[in-house]
Every structure is written in structure tokens, then in C-alpha cells.
Amino acid sequence: MSETTAPCPGPLAGRATPYNDTLALNDIHAVLTSPSLTDAVEEALQAITEILARTGRSPYPSRIITATVEDGPYGIPVACVESEGTVVTVGQDPNGPGIRIDATPRDADDKAALVIVVSDRVVNRAGPAGPWPVRHQGGGQS
């Protein structure tokens, strides 16, 4: 943010006062109704992005994700996760005891947005890096 823009209102997230959706909505309302940000669209968007970051929510729309387990072509179970056409399969490597993971983006845009992480190490980031990493907690989707 620029030096002339007021900092985001509201408390910072902490153990004593967790930053929840209600506090975030109040802060977003304060940003949108702030006279100092009426004509400063970029600064207002930056402030709202910072508020979303404090909640741990993504500023991007959530994708519909489905997961199934099926028998693969070799009679070995294969997990299949589909996210709006991009498919990730996980199963035993048919050529050995290891695990094989295949990611197939649906189109060029999904290929550009595909990020693959193994043990907290990014092994594929075809598109531009985001402002912060999104970590999965508890094995679920973010």
C-alpha cells in the first residue's frame, strides 16, 4: 500500500482474538466505505486482498473437486481427483512398487496455472507465482 493510504482496520489475527469471517466482512465494509479510498481503487483492492489473506481464504473462486477410487487397467486401485476437467490420478506404478502420479490439465490455461508440490518443494510452476503459498491443512482442499 502507499504511504497515504490508511492501514486496514480491525485487529490482527492472534490466539486471543481469532480473525474470522465476521471481522473480515466488517473490515471489507470499512474499506469500501472509507472516504480516503473512494477514488483509490488499487489501494482498496490491495487492502481487501490483505484482509482475505488474514482469514486464510483464497481471493480466487473455489473449484469443484471430486475424488473417486477405481480399479485401474492392471487391477490395482487408482485414485482419481478431478477439478473442472483437470485430472490427477494416483496409483501404484505398474512397473514397480513405487507410486505414480499423473496430472493432466484440461487446456492451456489450466496447464499455465498448474502447480505441483512434493514434500513442500515446488516441482512445477508453469505460471507466474502468486503473492503467497497456499498450504493444505489436514490433507483437505483449501
| Residues 45-61, mean pLDDT to the nearest whole number | 81
Q: DSSP for 2-26, please give it.
A: -TTSPPPPSPPP-SSS---HHHHHH
2 and 55 share one domain = yes
78 shares a domain with 45: no
Tell me whether residue 133 is in a domain. Answer: no
Per-residue pLDDT at 79 = 94
Q: What is the mean predicted confidence (pLDDT) over 3-15?
A: 48
Does 18 map to a domain?
Answer: yes
**Would you say residue 134 lies in a domain?**
no
Give the whole-number percent of the chain exceeding pLDDT 90. 14
Q: Does some domain include residue 110?
A: yes
Task: Assess whether 41 and 76 both reside in one domain.
Answer: no
At which of 14, 36, 59 does a domain end? Answer: 59
Report residue 90's pLDDT band, with 50, 70 and 90 as the boundaries.
very high
- In eight-state DSSP terms, residue 120 is T
State pTM to two decimals. Answer: 0.48
Residue 32 lies inside a defined structural domain of this protein: yes
Q: Domain range for residue 99?
A: 65-125
Domain count, the chain: 2
Rounded mean pLDDT, 26-35 = 88
**54 and 4 in a common domain:** yes
Share of the chain above pLDDT 70, in %: 73
Please determine, for residue 3, whether its predicted confidence score (pLDDT) is greater than 50: no
Range in 9-18, 56-65, 108-117 the model is least confident about: 9-18
131 falls within a domain? no
Are 47 and 4 within one domain? yes
Query: Is residue 135 in some structural domain?
Result: no
Q: Are residues 49 and 96 in the same domain?
A: no
Q: What is the Cα–Cα distance from 103 to 12, expressed in whole angstroms?
A: 38
In whole angstroms, what is the distance from residue 69 CA to residue 71 CA?
Answer: 7
